[in-house]
Structure 1
Amino acid sequence: MPDRAPFAGVLVGFARELRAAGLTVGTGDVLTYCSAMAPLDPADLVDLYWAGRATLVSRKDDIAAYDRVFRRFFLDEGAPGATQLLLPATAVAEAEAALVVPGVEPGPAADEEKPVLGWMASDVDALKHRTFPACTPAELAALRRIMARIKLTPPRRRTRRTRPGASGRAPDMRKTIRESMRMHGEPAGLFFRQRKTRLRPLILVLDISGSMADYSRHLLQFAYSARRAAARVEVFCFGTRLTRITKALQHRQPDTALEQAARAVVDWDGGTRIGESLDTFVRRWGRNGLCRGGVVIICSDGLDRGDPELLAAAMERLSRLCYRIVWLNPHKGDNAHFRPSTVGMIVAAPHIDLLLSGHDLASLQQLADMLPALN
């Protein structure tokens, strides 16, 4: 494609630098590298690194030289690759913070260098377990980049409708007889039908009050990723009132979507009325079938200034309308023996099916991994 021509030129230039550094890189290797990068993001330095390492490096001894050339070509100040690809400084900073892009650490001798990208997974894992308030701005930007790649799949439920299947309890008599007639009455194989499955609705209700200020924006980013990854996802925000922001998060650009959602919410960083907000959700949307058979995820610390009885009644009605209620409380952290101490959490606890923390990226990833198993 014409718009990819400058990008191909960058890859060819990088391969030329590798040849100058002593690596054996042939024309076929360069073509393979270009083909590997075609469906990937050219601004993603990790994609650039691993695609090149998989296609251009044929010997283990060449990895250190490859790392040096990659850093010099894409990451150093005035690097030709970053200039030609017009990589913004923020993209390089995010990759440095979150992905530990290729670098070298001095060994015992001055001429010995050790590539550290091989330890990328452990460094990313450490960043995922760092609480949101403890992260620097660069680390928060890196976390948002990682969060955008989270794959979230709601659980499925079996419907009453059936479809042809290789096995099952119900025989497909129509197909069995039809195949037998095609064989002029000779017995044909027995065919079966299986129950169809469909995704359960997923509803996220996010607390954006002042006590959740350190977490609400990251939970909103998680909600955007969920909205983009799954089909039946609804997102609500509440402080002193409930606001539906599902349509605002439909924009393809994450920054624009989050900006539209922020403009739609008028009580950001204000007070908290969980009971009134959930009661509004149940009366206006829950009873109309929005959460029927679905999974409702409430993200809040439970600090409620409203009436506890109203919250208890709303949670009781919500538990009867939906399939499961998952509550994310950042105060839980990594404490496996966490016991609710706020009035809101104590009142809501009898109706909660699963209590998680949501204080870092690892806990959000845990939620994403557990959702398909909530059957």
Structure 2
Amino acid sequence: MDGDSQKDGPQDGGKLVANIMHFARALRMAGLPIGPGKVLDAIAAVRAVGMGRRDDFYWALHAVFVNRQDQRDIFDQAFHVFWRNPRLLERMMQLVLPQLQLDQPQPDAAEMNRRLAEALMQGNEAVLADEADEEKLEIDAAFTASDKEMLQSMDFEKMSGDEVRQAQSMLRRLVLPIAEMRTRRFAPSSAGGAVDLRATLRGALRSGGDVIPLELKKRRTRPPALIILCDISGSMSRYSRMLLHFMHALTNDRDRVHTFLFGTRLTNVTRYLRKRDVDEALSKVGEAVGDWSGGTRIGACIEGFNRLWSRRVLGQGAVVLLITDGLDRDAGDGVAEEVERLRRSCQRLIWLNPLLRFDGFAPKSLGVRAILPHVDEFRPVHNLESLGALAEALSRPETRRGAGMASWLRRMEEVA
């Protein structure tokens, strides 16, 4: 390479530019919002900081490709896996600058996210075909599409990118047949159990009083309001993002569905989820919520719901789904009082916790111990099968409040 090419740097370093493009493509397939403009910015950033140190190269790409906290882990894993071969990296960097310091330890590829592995494998041969004689990056690429039975029982956290897309499609078709409840209003009925005096007198006036036909009525039924309070903290991020597809399907399937997301603060996203297009809806939700993958203040967020929203949305017979792992930044401060107040305001309070998938789960954390005595049901929510079980439970007639919680309360006493 002549002096002018070396001076121009990444702009003319064909292989380096191609691999930066492939790296950006892998990040996009792993879920990061990266377009052609960011690829050009990344090449310009690498050219600006120079290629003398590996950490400069890392942070130049990081500054361009990473916009949110929840994207950092994916980027870090992708960087170290994609650029893990020192000789290959050195040779590519030598297209720009002969000296490159590789002083940062590489993580084990076995710890890599499955979606990231899948993204890195696609197109890898096309970009690095001329490196066939070098050490290959070995990633288990046996990501065959799971059938319905396997997807039903597979944990959301362990799904590959293709399996996530299949699960999202199945979630959009999943319905929640909540058992209807009787209201205070009546409707005309030929087989009703009560006489409608007003309708009967009107009928008698129309007939001149010679014949008085008895008009009957019965109580109307309708599904109860459904309120969803979903934790979007870092420990819940993978599950909450999958469950957003489920919430979108529910919101567009029935009326009186209200969805709130909380981490360090509470956000009402109901109006965004009412958009028919799921991608547009989730994009609007992402713009509206500013505390993705952060900490969790369960007590403060439920207090905000009780104070600002409960009277507006908790209509007659409302069912509340509280989706959280119970891990609270405030060590359970104020959680018990606010959850108890929420329970008194609704007909049925169901706690969905992904940690319940573990056989050895015990209510040890302060947040879990504060919530558990005040809910009517305690269920796992980590795969499609658990959501199907929830739908089945909600379709059955309601039993006595808290009837299934005795065993969990005894276990909590044993832990104490």
Same fold (TM over 0.5): yes
CA contact (8 A) 1:154 1:372 kept: yes
What is the Cα deviation at residue 369 of structure 1? Answer: 3.0
Report the equivalent of 1:346: 369
Match 1:276 to one of 280, 294, 300: 300
C-alpha RMSD of the superposition: 2.4
Which of these residues, 238, 263, 267, is aligned with residue 243 of structure 1?
A: 267
Q: Structure 1 residue 208: deviation in Å?
A: 0.7
Tell me the residue number matched to 1:97. Answer: 145
Q: Deviations along 1:4-62, whole A, 9 cap, x unmatched?
A: xxxxxxxxxxxxxxxxxxxxxxxxxxxxxxxxxxxxxxxxxxxxxxxxxxxxxxxxxxx
Give distance in 1, aligned partners of 2:170 and 2:162.
13
Shift of residue 139, structure 1, vs aligned partner: 0.7
- 2:347 is matched by which residue type in structure 1? Y
- The 5-angstrom pairing of residues 150-299 of structure 1 reads 150-176=174-200, 190-286=214-310, 288-293=311-316, 294-299=318-323
Is the 2:172–2:246 contact (alpha carbons within 8 Å) kept by the matching residues of 1?
Answer: yes
Q: 1:349 to 1:366 in 2, by over 3 A?
A: same
1:36-185 aligned within 5 A: 97=145, 123-176=147-200
Does residue 320 in structure 1 map to residue 368 in structure 2? no
Q: How far does residue 350 in structure 1 lie from its aligned partner after superposition?
A: 1.3
Q: Is the 8 A contact 1:292 1:323 kept in 2?
A: no
The amino acid across from 1:97 in the alignment is: A
Give the conservation status (yes or no) of the 8 Å contact 1:334–1:357: no
Aligned to 1:218, what secondary structure does the other structure show? helix
Aligned length: 254
Does structure 1 conserve the Cα–Cα contact (< 8 Å) formed by 2:153 and 2:383? yes
SS in 2 for 1:252: coil
Q: Where in structure 1 are there 5+ consecutive unaligned residues?
A: 1-95, 99-122
3-state SS of 1:247 partner: helix
Q: Distance in 1 between matches of 2:243 and 2:319?
A: 17
Q: Secondary structure at the match of 1:298?
A: strand
CA distance in 2, matches of 1:303, 1:179: 63
Distance 1:321 1:247 in 2: 23
Q: TM-score, normalised by structure 2?
A: 0.56
Show the counterpart of 2:63: none
How far, CA to CA, are the matches of 1:331 and 1:224 in structure 2?
Answer: 23
Which amino acid letter does the alignment assign opposite residue 166 of structure 1?
S
The alpha-carbon deviation at position 189 of structure 1 amounts to 6.0
Give the distance between the partners of 2:335 and 2:188, measured in 1 at CA.
Answer: 46
Residue 243 and residue 232 in structure 1: after superposition, are their counterparts in 2 closer, same or farther (change >3 A)? same
Structure 1 CA distance for aligned equivalents of residues 304 and 208 of structure 2: 64
Find the aligned partners of 2:233 and 2:397 in 1 and give their Cα distance. 29
Aligned match of 1:91: none
The structure with the largest alpha-carbon Rg is 2
- Distance in 1 between the 2:153 and 2:210 partners? 64
Q: Does 1:365 align with 2:392?
A: no
Amino acid at match of 1:306: D
Structure 2 distance, partners of 1:312, 1:327, is 13
Question: What 5-or-longer segments of structure 2 have no aligned partner?
Answer: 1-143, 399-416
Residue 165 of structure 1: how far off its partner (Å):
1.3
Are the counterparts in 2 of residues 154 and 201 from structure 1 also a CA contact under 8 Å? Answer: no
Q: After TM superposition, give the deviation of residue 203 of structure 1 in Å.
A: 0.8
Is the Cα–Cα contact under 8 Å of residues 331 and 366 in structure 2 kept in the other structure? no
In the alignment, structure 1 residue 355 sits paired with structure 2 residue 378: yes
Give identity over the alignment, percent: 38
Distance of aligned partners of 1:215 and 1:172 in 2 relative to their CA distance in 1, 3 Å threshold: same
1:90-129 per-position Cα deviation (integer Å, ceiling 9, x unaligned): xxxxxx936xxxxxxxxxxxxxxxxxxxxxxxx3122111
CA contact (8 A) 1:155 1:199 kept: yes
Q: Deviations over 1:321-344 (max 9, x none)?
A: 111111110111275x96423221
The Cα shift of 1:179 comes to 5.3
TM-score, scaled relative to structure 1: 0.62
Kindly indicate whether the alpha-carbon contact (under 8 Å) linking 1:297 and 1:326 is maintained by their aligned counterparts in 2.
Answer: yes
Residue type of the partner of 2:388? Answer: Q
